[in-house]
Amino acid sequence: MSSIADNIGSVTRRIQKATLRAGRAPESVRLLAVSKTRTADELRQAAAAGQTAFGENYLQEALDKQAALADLTNIDWHFIGPIQSNKTRQIAAAFSWVHSVDRLKIARRLSEQREPGLAPLNICLQVNIDNEDSKAGCSLAELDELVEAVGELPNLSLRGLMAIPDPDQPESGLRSSFRTLANTLRSLRQQHPGAGPLDTLSMGMSGDLEMAIEEGATWVRVGTALFGKRPAKS
């Protein structure tokens, strides 16, 4: 059975090979370890192997792990799950990145509740790229207006876009979804040069990270390939 450290090495090599095939610099893509439902001890093992960025979906679970790992000062915490309005204050205080902002109300609350002494909160707008009823995210049609409004908020840094394409579609459809997100980001960068860096594409997971990198991903969100299958819910 592979260790978490072995798995991190394996995924890192996959990322490096994919970036080279795509003619990109290896450092242009970063690994976000999706650590929801994983124990603090598992995260500590990953951190010991050099992993610094962890993505959490559930606020209270994340806060408990942050407390347990408070001695690890180099961990970078990312919130990647759906955001309820009553959770924005804690998210704004406890994370450096939020990948799942999908409406202006949430962005405003995160900006208002970000503590003055902290750096601007890095955010990505989540796009429902395949218009799935079961998925969160704004539509492509809503993005232009949302980027313009979010770009004016003072305590946020609008970094880019995040999407979770439909995994059941053919490979050609999956690639098309990644490419559409990348083309959309390029267009937004040209149309809204003052809205923020707009330099980030958070897309690609354990099974499709190579394809996502070929289409421009800068963060790949990987859980299963690092930690194994999630334990069944009791």
Write the pLDDT tens digit of every residue in 9-22. Answer: 999 999 999 999 99
The pLDDT score that the predictor gives to residue 2 is: 79
Instruction: State the average pLDDT for the chain.
Output: 96
Q: pTM for this one?
A: 0.96
> 25-34, 201-210, 225-234: which has the minimum mean pLDDT?
225-234
The pLDDT score that the predictor gives to residue 134 is: 81
pLDDT tens digits, 82-125: 999 999 999 999 999 999 999 999 999 999 999 999 999 999 99
Residue 132's pLDDT band (boundaries 50, 70, 90)?
Answer: confident
Assess whether pLDDT exceeds 90 at residue 201.
yes
Report the 3 state secondary structure along the chain: CCCHHHHHHHHHHHHHHHHHHCCCCHHHCEEEEECCCCCHHHHHHHHHCCCCEEEECCHHHHHHHHHHCCCCCCCEEEECCCCCHHHHHHHHHHCCEEEEECCHHHHHHHHHHCCCCCCCEEEEEEECCCCCCCCCCECHHHHHHHHHHHCCCCCEEEEEEEECCCCCCCHHHHHHHHHHHHHHHHHHHHHCCCCCCCCEEECCCCCCHHHHHHCCCCEEEECHHHHCCCCCCC
Provide mean pLDDT across the span 220-230.
Answer: 93
> 84-88, 147-151, 211-215, 230-234: which has the minimum mean pLDDT?
230-234
Assess whether pLDDT exceeds 90 at residue 180.
yes
The pLDDT score that the predictor gives to residue 108 is: 98
The pLDDT score that the predictor gives to residue 133 is: 82
Q: What's the CATH code, domain 4-223?
A: 3.20.20.10
Instruction: Give the domain ranges of the chain.
Output: 4-223
The pLDDT score that the predictor gives to residue 232 is: 62
Provide mean pLDDT across the span 187-212.
Answer: 97
